[in-house]
Chain A
């Protein structure tokens, strides 16, 4: 039997506007839960990007004491050159260090005035052979013990901390997303149950005149699907907005580390797809359970 599209569209629409407050509540809960899911996804992708980017040129920095002897500096140089675990390294001269320093503190002339090139510690920038955090750390520790070394800085420490923080944050968000997704499925269930109750006379007549179960069910299934997908649409907009906010924040800083948190449009599209699928899923499950329970053939 052909399902008449116009009839189904009309009935679905009527169901949706019959109880606007419940429909709105359902759509909003779906939107909130999926926005949380979307934010968690954005963060996870950002962290993934951060890690990849960092592994391209993972490096640690060996800072020398400002009063290190030239022999000590040469010894470190030799150790770096001899080590099979070092891919490449570069000595940053006092002039280069001072130039960086000037750039960094260009807004604070008083700081610049109080420091001369000789007072700044020079450093070696090191790119190791194996760009894994643990290996890099062990390697850095070796150099820390050499005479004339003031400290060894790992870019990795920052990264590790960021990783840890974002993992916890995105897990919390995923948990919250799961909880509110359950809430929205329950609301969906109630909203469809209410619609079924409001239309019980119609449903009784439909049964008596021989409408098929599919025909009776489809508008209610669609009602759930539409609510889920509209909610997903709202949450997608929220995620796009979040991405825009992050981009604006990053444009105001020179800190390059978090650039990967601004998603490419293809990544955004895949997040949007996940959200739409999840919204449709919530709608399908919520309305499906209500229909199976209250519309038994």
Chain B
């Protein structure tokens, strides 16, 4: 599903965010990216949906060489990759339902599809009662559920999560992880960058460790350290 071949990413100004990284992630896997701040976790994720291009090396997503993808095909790639973030990136002037349906509207899904899928996905993430509320009326955990609903409503093949529990208390974080686990069980590949030792150690999934822009370990049922 995802394959990195000797990928190096240097930012203008000479910062190297990723050095000669190679990894192979199969369909349906759940992978933690761990490492200190600035170790290259976010760059790893941004390369996968072509928010960044690698300086060297090749990246395959769903069988396609992302580095060779022409710019007009990038939106099509991104429709297959959901994203969630530490800061949720919800639109404050839209309700929960509108935030979720926005993701479908802007890729031109017909209205009847939106009408069916939005309530279904809101139920799935446990926000069925809250579709008409605005983000500021929700707790952090609820907001992250909205962002998961938005990322998953289009049934992407891959879900990228950049420290999704970073702003949440441990109890709420566990709820979010249960939800991501459920999504993973539907066959969606999940790649999650995290600092949360407890979560990594409890879930015992594949762990890719990054340090100073290099992949320093890759363990099948790993722990945080």
Chain A residues packing against B (C-beta within 8 Å): 1-4, 7, 201-202, 204-213, 215-216, 297
Contacts and interface: CB of A to CB of B under 8 A. Distances in A.
B91 A205 contact: yes
A284 to B, nearest CB: 21
A212 B102 contact: no
A210 B107 contact: yes
Contacts, number: 60
B121 interface: no
Contacts of A2: 108
Contact of A209 (B72, B79, B92): B79
Given A210-B77, A210-B78, A297-B71, A205 B108 contact: no
A210 B83 contact: no
A213 B75 contact: yes
Interface in B78-98: 78-80, 82-83, 89, 91-92
A211 B151 CA distance: 13
A208 B83 CA distance: 7
Contacts of B106: 7, 205-206, 209, 211, 215-216
B49 interface: yes
B150 interface: yes
Nearest to A7: B105
A209 B89 contact: no
A4 B105 contact: yes
Please tell me the size bucket of the interface on B: 20 to 34
Contacts of A208: 49, 78, 83, 89
By DSSP majority rule, is chain A's interface helix, strand, loop, or mixed?
helix
By Cβ-Cβ distance, the 3 closest A-B pairs, closest first, are: A210-B78, A210-B79, A211-B106
A215 B107 CA distance: 8
Given A4-B105, A209-B106, A213-B75, 7 more contacts: A206-B106, A210-B76, A210-B107, A211-B75, A211-B106, A212-B75, A216-B106
Contact of B102 (A205, A207, A210, A216): A205
Contacts of B80: 210
Interface in B103-153: 103, 105-108, 150-151
B154 interface: yes
Contacts of B78: 207-210
Nearest to A216: B106
A221 to B, nearest CB: 16
A204 B80 CA distance: 17
Contacts of A213: 71-72, 75
B107 A209 contact: yes
Contacts of B91: 201-202, 205
A1 B109 CA distance: 9
Given A1-B107, A4-B108, A204-B89, A212 B83 contact: no
Contact of A215 (B92, B102, B108): B108
Contacts of B107: 1, 209-212, 215
B161 to A, nearest CB: 13
Contacts of A216: 106
In this complex, the member of A204, A207, A211 whose beta carbon has the largest number of chain B beta carbons within 10 angstroms is A211
